[in-house]
Amino acid sequence: MKPVVFAGPSIHGIANEHLSGLDRRGPAACGDIFDAVRQGARTIGLIDGLYGDCAAVWHKEILFALSSGITVFGAASMGALRAAECEAFGMIGIGDIFGAYRDGHRVSDADVAVSHAPAQLGYRPLTIALVDAEATLAACGDAITPEEYDALASAARTLHFTRRTWRAITAEAGLGPATVNLLAAHAVSAKRDDAARLLAVLKDEPLPSPPPQSWKLQNTLFFQQLVAQRVAGDEAS
């Protein structure tokens, strides 16, 4: 079976050739990784995940995959968060964003959150993640003054992820339209860069194996309920 990758807005702009040979699915919600394991996946890459209007992908289903001998990678967005949280159990994190969460330099889930279009429109990002806003400001270099940098960085951190656009950041910072164009011209996506690194790893041969386990999956009541729900859903369909 092809490696399964859950991805959406973080891979916007990545050429389709980087997805060839992969079973690309949309952002993962609760139960999707469990389903991939049941369907025979041996390698799973988690980049994007859903949240807010549905339950996010559970740590427990990632542990279920790892306990089944499946290699699970994470990067960029929800994948970076879950990899930082599950690295001790064998999940493999990739990229700078994962490293920042693992090392405690970032702690808020909201730093990677964005609003995005639905599946029919390719999950196109509609707002800008804080990690990408900060990477862009760093890339501007001498094109902005230190005072402008501080104002823009503060504005980006202040805005909720559902409102964070270049125009909104610039307005919040009290700067003019020329700055909007400047930021757009220097735009950097740390999320896309890390997602591309994960995709490259998934296409490598041979893929790394998960580390030896020193733990045992606890079959909790909540996990049993998830299993029952997913199996019942399959039978109903």
Torsion angle, alpha carbons of 69, 4, 36, 208, to 10: 0
Phi, psi values for residue 131, rounded to 5°: -60, -35
Q: Under CATH, which number does the domain 4-109+191-213 receive?
A: 3.40.50
**Within the chain, where are the H helices?**
32-38, 59-67, 78-86, 96-102, 130-140, 146-158, 166-172, 177-185, 190-202, 221-236
C-alpha 190: how far from its chain's center? 11
Sketch the domain layout of the chain as residue ranges: 4-109+191-213, 119-190
The residues with which 93 forms a beta bridge, in sequence order, are 74
Closest CA to 186 of 198, 176, 175, 178: 178
pLDDT(237) > 80: no
Phi, psi values for residue 71, rounded to 5°: -85, 125
Q: For 163-189, what is each residue's pLDDT tens digit?
A: 999 999 999 999 999 999 999 999 999
Q: For 80-127, what is each residue's pLDDT tens digit?
A: 999 999 999 999 999 999 999 999 999 999 999 999 999 999 999 999
